[in-house]
Structure 1
Amino acid sequence: MTTRAERTGPALRRPSSLLNKVPEVTLAFWVVKVLCTTVGETFADFLNDGLGLGLTVTSLVMTAMLVVALVLQFRSRRYVPWVYWLTVVLISVVGTLLTDTLTDSLGVSLWVSTGVFAVALAVSFGTWHAVERTLSVHDITTRRREGFYWTTILLTFALGTAVGDLLGEQLSLGYLPSAVVFAAAIALIALAHRALGLGAVVAFWAAYVLTRPLGASLGDLLSQASGDGGLGFGTTATSVIFLVAIAVVVVAMTWSGRRTARAALQR
Structure 2
Amino acid sequence: MLNKVPEVTIWFWIIKILCTTVGESFADWINMNLGVGLLDTALIFTGVLAAVLAWQLSASRYIPFVYWLTVVVVSVTGTLYTDILTDSQGVPLALSSSVFAGVLAVVFGIWYARERTLSVHSIITRPRELFYWLAVLVTFALGTATGDWTLELTGWTAGVSVLLPLGLIGAIIVGWRLGANAVLSFWLAYILTRPLGANLGDWLGSPDGDGGLGLGTAMTSVVFLAAILATVVYLTLSRRDVIETHDQNGARRAPSPARERGMLAYYAVIMVAAGGLLVWAHHQPHAAAAGEEDAPAPVTGHLTPQEATAPFPPAEIAKFRTITADTLAKVNAGDQGGATSRVTDLETAWDDDQSALEPKSEEAWSFLDGEIDQVLDAVRDPHPDKVTEVNVLRALLTSLG
Do the structures match in fold with TM over 0.5? yes
Counterpart of 2:211 in structure 1: which amino acid? Answer: G
Listed as ranges, the matches of 1:217-232 within 5 Å are: 217-232=199-214
Matched, 1:108 2:64: no
Residue of structure 2 equivalent to 1:44: 27
Task: Give the distance between the partners of 2:133 and 2:170, measured in 1 at CA.
Answer: 25
Which of 20, 37, 56 pairs up with 1:73?
Answer: 56
SS in 2 for 1:104: helix
SS in 1 for 2:112: helix
Residue of structure 1 equivalent to 2:120: 137
Q: Deviations over 1:116-171 (max 9, x none)?
A: 00010111111100000000000101110011000000000000000110112443
The question of whether the paired residues in 2 share the 8 Å contact of 1:50 and 1:235 is answered with no
Task: Give the distance between the partners of 1:240 and 1:56, measured in 2 at CA.
Answer: 24
Residue of structure 1 equivalent to 2:75: 92
Percent identity over the alignment is 56
Residue of structure 1 equivalent to 2:197: 215
Residue of structure 2 equivalent to 1:31: 14
The question of whether the paired residues in 1 share the 8 Å contact of 2:7 and 2:242 is answered with no
Residue of structure 1 equivalent to 2:228: 246
Residue of structure 2 equivalent to 1:256: 238
Which of 153, 162, 183 pairs up with 2:145?
Answer: 162
The question of whether the paired residues in 2 share the 8 Å contact of 1:42 and 1:219 is answered with yes
SS in 1 for 2:213: coil
How many Å apart are 1:259 and its aligned residue?
11
Residue of structure 2 equivalent to 1:7: none
Which of 145, 154, 178 pairs up with 2:161?
Answer: 178
Matched, 1:236 2:218: yes
Structure 1 pair 53/131, CA: closer, same or farther in 2 (3 Å)? same
The question of whether the paired residues in 2 share the 8 Å contact of 1:175 and 1:220 is answered with yes
Task: Give the distance between the partners of 1:253 and 1:161, measured in 2 at CA.
Answer: 27
Runs of 4+ in 1 over 6 A off after TM superposition: 258-261
Structure 1 pair 260/79, CA: closer, same or farther in 2 (3 Å)? closer
SS in 1 for 2:239: helix
Counterpart of 2:20 in structure 1: which amino acid? Answer: T
How many Å apart are 1:260 and its aligned residue?
9.0
More helix by share: 1
Q: Deviations over 1:25-59 (max 9, x none)?
A: 00001000000000000000111102222211211
SS in 2 for 1:121: helix
User: What are structure 2's unaligned runs of at least 5 residues?
Assistant: 244-401
Residue of structure 2 equivalent to 1:191: 174
User: What are structure 1's unaligned runs of at least 5 residues?
Assistant: 1-17, 262-267
Structure 1 pair 184/39, CA: closer, same or farther in 2 (3 Å)? same
The question of whether the paired residues in 1 share the 8 Å contact of 2:18 and 2:227 is answered with yes
Counterpart of 1:119 in structure 2: which amino acid? Answer: G
Task: Give the distance between the partners of 1:193 and 1:163, measured in 2 at CA.
Answer: 23
TM-score normalised by length of structure 1: 0.88
Residue of structure 2 equivalent to 1:264: none
Task: Give the distance between the partners of 2:193 and 2:130, measured in 1 at CA.
Answer: 21
How many Å apart are 1:67 and its aligned residue?
0.6
Counterpart of 2:214 in structure 1: which amino acid? Answer: G
Q: Which structure has the larger Rg?
A: 2
TM-score normalised by length of structure 2: 0.59
Task: State the structure with bigger RCO (CA 8 A, min sep 6), 1 or 2.
Answer: 1
Backbone CA RMSD of aligned residues? 1.5
Structure 1 pair 258/187, CA: closer, same or farther in 2 (3 Å)? closer
Residue of structure 2 equivalent to 1:5: none
Q: Deviations over 1:206-255 (max 9, x none)?
A: 00000000000000000112233322111100000000000000100110
Residue of structure 2 equivalent to 1:128: 111
Task: Give the distance between the partners of 1:213 and 1:260, measured in 2 at CA.
Answer: 27
